[in-house]
Structures are given as structure tokens and as C-alpha cells.
Amino acid sequence: DQQVKQNSPSLSVQEGRISILNCDYTNSMFDYFLWYKKYPAEGPTFLISISSIKDKNEDGRFTVFLNKSAKHLSLHIVPSQPGDSAVYFCAAKDRKIIFGKGTRLHILP
Amino acid sequence: EPEVTQTPSHQVTQMGQEVILHCVPISNHLYFYWYRQILGQKVEFLVSFYNNEISEKSEIFDDQFSVERPDGSNFTLKIRSTKLEDSAMYFCASSDGGRAYNEQFFGPGTRLTVL
């Protein structure tokens, strides 16, 4: 039962370029979507969220886009930096938070 | 900067034994959560806790699991009779439930190994 899907297990991006991480969901009742970042041996760290009534939220280098008709959201990181190398989890909330499997982002020097 | 802390960082136990995982949430937070991540798999919600009672739990959170807030600072997860498949990273999280309701702060996790 994969209500939140991240179809790319890994992504490599050149430093300074844009990183785009994608996420699809199946449950139209989700009211919030979130992105978390995780380094090895640490817990997930909240990055950015978006309400289901919006289509874009921006915070510094991070922007999340929501396309409700396509049940798709994406996280854009511009410009990508070496410290952005981590696993990124897409998550969605109805009464609880449901995580995707994550995408490992490698920022190449 | 306030943070969620978890102890121990690694717990090894024999199958059938009881374990208690400890968490100290951020002090002014009111909502508390446990998640687990089996190696190579996604982070899974276990339970949420508010006002001294469980507010939501997943199908994973069966009768062998329980949570408790024994005092004003600790939040514990007890597994009564551990199974091999309980081996995972267990993450505690907390949130203040206000404007940042959706921003849960996670601890570093406890790695549970059941032998």
C-alpha cells in the first residue's frame, strides 16, 4: 500500500545546478505535504511543507510545487550545494504522516 | 537550539524480551510520535500521543506496543515481547501543534537489534 511514492531511488546533480525531486500520491484526502531531509545516523529533518490549497511554497533555496490534479509534488533546490547530499523523504498527512521511500540525492563537485 | 533526544542509541536484545526506548521531546511541545524504519525501507508511523492519550495509531502498533509519558519530560515506547522483525531504527518526534503543527522534530533514533 504505497500512498506516497518516490519513484527515483537516487539522483545525481552537479553543484550549482537545480535538483528536482518528485513525489506522487494516491489519497486525495491528504491536506498537507511535507519534505524531510535525512543524513546517515540522524533523524529526519523537516524542510518545507505545503497545504493542499496552495500550489507553491518557497523558502530560500527550496521550493515545493503541488499539482493536485496530477496528484504530484516536487521539491526544487536551487542552487544545489554539497551539503544537500542526503536522503529526501516526501510525506503526506491526513490523520497521520505517511512517508515515501526516499530519494538519495548526490551533489557532484 | 532545542532538540529531541533519544536513549539508548543502540539496543540489542534477545527475542521475547521486553525493551523500553526513551525519548525526551522538546520541552514546550504537546504532540509526541513514534516512527520506525526497517533497514532499507520507508519511515513508518507507529503512534501519536496528545494530552496523555493515544490520538492515532497504525496497524503496526499492536498489543505488544505501548507508550507512556511517565513524567513531564519523558516519552517511552515499550515493546513487551520482541520479535526478530522488530529490528529497526525507532524515531521519536514532537511538535507544538500550533502554527507549526506539521513540523515534527525528530530525534536521532534508537537502533533496536533483536537476536
CA–CA distance, A98 with A92 (Å, rounded to integer): 5
* Domain range enclosing B85: 5-96
Q: Which pLDDT band holds residue A1 (cuts at 50, 70, 90)? A: low
Q: What is the CATH number of the domain that holds B26?
A: 2.60.40.10
Closest C-alpha to B100, from A32, A84, A3, A43: A32
Pairwise CB contact (< 8 Å): B103 & A46: yes
Answer yes or no: is B103 within a domain.
no
Q: From first to last of the 115 residues of chain B, give the pLDDT tens digit.
A: 789 999 999 999 999 999 999 999 999 898 999 999 998 888 999 999 998 899 999 999 999 999 999 887 899 999 999 999 999 999 999 988 755 456 889 999 999 999 9
Query: What are A53's three cell numbers?
Result: 490549497
User: Grid cell 505535504 — which residue?
Assistant: A33
On the CB side of A74, CA atoms within 13 Å amount to: 11
* Domain range enclosing A60: 4-108
Answer yes or no: is B58 within a domain.
yes
Closest C-alpha to A77, from A32, A22, A5: A22
Q: What is the CATH number of the domain that holds A71?
A: 2.60.40.10
Higher pLDDT, B1 or A46: A46
Quickly list H helices, A24-96. none
Answer yes or no: is B105 within a domain.
no
| pLDDT at position B98 | 56
Which residues on chain B are in Cβ contact (under 8 Å) with A99? 35, 42-45
Closest C-alpha to A47, from A91, A104, A109, A95: A91
Q: 3-class SS at B5?
A: strand
- Number of structural domains (chain A) is 1
Which residues on chain B are in Cβ contact (under 8 Å) with A44? 43, 91, 106
| pLDDT at position B41 | 86
